[in-house]
Structure 1
Amino acid sequence: MTTNYLARAAGHRPGSNATATLEVVIPVYNEEADLEKCIRRLHEHLEERIPFRSRITIADNASNDGTLAVAHRLADEIDGVRVHHLDEKGRGRALKAVWLASDADVVAYMDVDLSTDLNALMPLVAPLLSGHSDLAIGSRLNRSSRVVRGVKRELISRSYNLILRTSLRARFSDAQCGFKAMRTDVARQLLPLVEDTGWFFDTELLVIAEKVGLRIHEVPVDWVDDPDSSVHLLDTAVKDLQGCWRVGRALATGVLPVAELRRSLGREPLVAGVPHGMIGQLVRFGIIGVASTVAYALLYLVLHPMIGAQAANFAGLLITAVLNTAANRAIHFRRPRARERG
């Protein structure tokens, strides 16, 4: 069952420390130089553009510069800003801690550099507040997105998402865009299963959500790369690949309780007795069958004048049978095994 939080949010004013409809988390580590500019710009946007009560939480994960002092000063000066300090590093650790403790209807996060245009925030959270979707992500790889970044980062991003599609059969387009949101009731059930505390946190969360049948809404974003970003690309890439291996193994061995979580979230098949994905599988079987029949007819017509009716019939049946088997194995028999294990 879904809940429409938009009606409940009607009449609420943004910028209050009372119970919020939306809580936006800014995870930071040694960001004393950029933090104030980010928080003031985000607060102004929430006040002017978001028509319901919202809150900003600065999640400081073990900064050793003046970040925490700046965060506390901002919380004292700006209504609707608070601070959560952790003694250990890790963006995923910070998000998990704040999201699990949140009393808001929807939790979100964005990177402190605000690389993503804030005008995408309302489209990001609206499907969650309406109850239609469970998670929402900003996508830099959507055709209508406008992105400014170097060739190196573009190549790494697209390569990583290709790896996710081939190794974990992920369908979401952009795992690592620092602009995401989810319903808090869903977060409380998913987050205990997410093990990563660093940059792979996003990917692991999305893979689990997708495997249990949750709806992931994607929003095309305008995104400008921060040339001063502190993210170490090589180290992050290695840890992401290790995370893919760990999650893939957990899905294959049944360590992740996907079936149980699907039941608890109400994501079982709409028709009793019809397994998840069965209808789509039947449709694909039908399409392959029709394509095979058309291919056989064309082969027969082409080969008949050259080798005769009997030989053309035999050749057409043989070729289409091989192609039919290959297509069904590629489309059907691999995916179901991955789903059953996961």
Structure 2
Amino acid sequence: MRTETPGDALPAREHLPARAAGAPVLDVTIPVYNEEQDLAPCVRRLHDHLTRTFPYAFRITIADNASTDATPAVAAGLDAGLPEVRSLRLEEKGRGRALRAVWSRSDAPVLAYMDVDLSTDLNALLPLVAPLISGHSDLAIGSRLARSSRVVRGPKREFVSRAYNVILKSSLSARFSDAQCGFKAVRRDVAERLLPMVEDTGWFFDTEMLVLAERAGLRIHEVPVDWVDDPDSRVHIVRTAAEDLKGVWRLGRALAVGALPLDRLARPFGDDPRDRGPAEVPRGLVRQVAGFCVVGVVSTLFYLLLYSLFRPGLGAQGANAAALLVSAVANTAANRRLTFGVRGRRRAVRHQLQGLVVFAVGLALTSGSLAALDTATGSASHTTELAVLIAANLAATVLRFLLLRAWVFPERRIPAPAAAPLTAPDSRTDPPTDRADPGDPGDPTDMTGMNDERTTR
């Protein structure tokens, strides 16, 4: 199994060390703009919470977005007075710009941010970053829309937030629940690959980052949060909503044309449990079982419909035989194409004849069940007959799959030739080869049954 990283994709996730040499495990960024009144008490509150409850080394970074009041001086004072606090001054506004600047320079393996008003309860901070430290997830977000979240805010903000997330789900197929909550974290190795793809420098930065991560198959962990709206919030809802809609259009267009190299965000094979097949199970069996189940459900419904139609005129046994015969022909054709991947007409008649033998086994089981029911009850209701037939068909289904896989559509493993021919055959002198349909299981050119075990590149 291939475990190393192909090309420039992400490495496999690992548990982060509890004490990184000379660097904190967590770097929390607080973007601010003209927050001279709230900055100091909020940072001290966060610092106190982390000092008391967080089991790893941490840092708090104040990212000043071109403030015009005394915010830079307050940030500098906190930087000088608290050893775990540092400040960074930017000459341009934009929350996304601030996060990009701080995260691009940070040496901490886990990067987080929160709004300066600390609307989100800080008790959710450790649950937010724990999956990133353990190696379980790539990104983590606080969600105000989870069922167990406790949120206090006005109806206007509530409507805007929910409407925005509905737009994301319908237009960008987003599966995360809350894109705008100012409470997020990301592993640094992910941020190093993800940030160059994110274009927005404002409020849409969060959404764009999450959509790209989700489309690339990264794992996003959601934490229900307790959140109290800041009545003094200076967010311009209409202007922010308009910018977000522009971002949705731009991002949707880029994803539609494949303009983003999302493969750079892929984890190596084996990091995701979905990449590892069940042990001791032949390759292709899981896919075949899934396809057979789908065909079986449809065939059973078709059979029951035919039985109900034939029952008044043919009686129970006649209706069962006729319905099973018709549905068996359709079932064999569907399994031939969808479950076992056999295409073309070659051996189609043979497969149907073999399928009729399998049909005879199913007929024996279902007819025997009806006969036993008639002997036991004398005159059973139509509903009881259907229930007995469903149970008998379930037993026949298992046997049908085994017979189809082992006898009707057996896997052919072709040994590799000792040596490949050095020259192509001459069509003028070599006799023509009677090639079977490539999808036929008996065709030597069919490679579907061979072991395609992934190898290290």
Alignment size in residue pairs: 306
Aligned counterpart, 2:15: 4
Match runs of 1:1-342 below 5 Å: 1-8=12-19, 19-262=23-266, 270=275, 289=295, 292-293=298-299, 295-296=301-302
Q: Match for 1:244: what amino acid?
A: V
Shift of the alpha carbon at 1:149?
1.1
Q: Distance in 1 between matches of 2:203 and 2:166?
A: 17
Structure 1 residues 231-269: Cα deviation after superposition (integer angstroms, max 9, x where no partner)? 111111111111111111111111101134326798797
Q: Match for 1:4: what amino acid?
A: H
Q: Distance in 1 between matches of 2:97 and 2:269?
A: 24
Structure 1 residues 283-334: Cα deviation after superposition (integer angstroms, max 9, x where no partner)? 986776555446546655776789999xxx9xxx9xxxxxxxxxxxxxxxxx
Q: Identity rate of aligned residues, in percent?
A: 61
Q: Distance in 2 between matches of 1:307 and 1:65?
A: 90
Q: Distance in 1 between matches of 2:287 and 2:73?
A: 56
Q: Distance in 2 between matches of 1:38 and 1:189?
A: 31
* Contact 1:6–1:130, Cα closer than 8 Å, also in 2: no
CA RMSD, aligned part only?
Answer: 3.3
Q: Match for 1:35: what amino acid?
A: L
SS in 1 for 2:63: strand
What's the TM-score once normalised by structure 1's chain length?
0.79
* Contact 2:18–2:56, Cα closer than 8 Å, also in 1: no
Shift of the alpha carbon at 1:198?
0.3
Q: Match for 2:13: what amino acid?
A: T
* Contact 1:212–1:267, Cα closer than 8 Å, also in 2: no
Note the residue ranges of structure 1 that are not aligned, 5 or more in a row.
13-17, 273-277, 318-342
* Contact 1:62–1:85, Cα closer than 8 Å, also in 2: yes
* Contact 1:5–1:105, Cα closer than 8 Å, also in 2: yes
Q: Match for 2:177: what amino acid?
A: S
Aligned counterpart, 2:453: none
SS in 2 for 1:5: coil
Q: Match for 2:110: what amino acid?
A: V
Q: 1:299 to 1:252 in 2, by over 3 A?
A: same
* Contact 2:180–2:206, Cα closer than 8 Å, also in 1: yes
Structure 1 residues 13-39: Cα deviation after superposition (integer angstroms, max 9, x where no partner)? xxxxx5211000000011111111110
What's the TM-score once normalised by structure 2's chain length?
0.60
Q: 1:131 to 1:287 in 2, by over 3 A?
A: same
* Contact 1:60–1:67, Cα closer than 8 Å, also in 2: yes
Q: Match for 1:270: what amino acid?
A: D
Deviates more, 1:213-222 or 1:254-263: 254-263
Q: Distance in 1 between matches of 2:113 and 2:182?
A: 7
Q: Match for 2:72: what amino acid?
A: L
* Contact 2:129–2:185, Cα closer than 8 Å, also in 1: yes
Q: Distance in 2 between matches of 1:124 and 1:208?
A: 20
Larger Rg: 2
Q: Match for 1:126: what amino acid?
A: A
Structure 1 residues 81-129: Cα deviation after superposition (integer angstroms, max 9, x where no partner)? 1101100000000001100100011010000110100000000011111
**Aligned structure 1 segments of 4 or more residues deviating by more than 3 angstroms:** 6-9, 263-269, 278-309
Q: Distance in 1 between matches of 2:36 and 2:285?
A: 53
Q: 1:73 to 1:260 in 2, by over 3 A?
A: closer
Note the residue ranges of structure 2 that are not aligned, 5 or more in a row.
1-11, 278-283, 328-457
Q: 1:228 to 1:249 in 2, by over 3 A?
A: same
Q: Distance in 2 between matches of 1:137 and 1:25?
A: 14
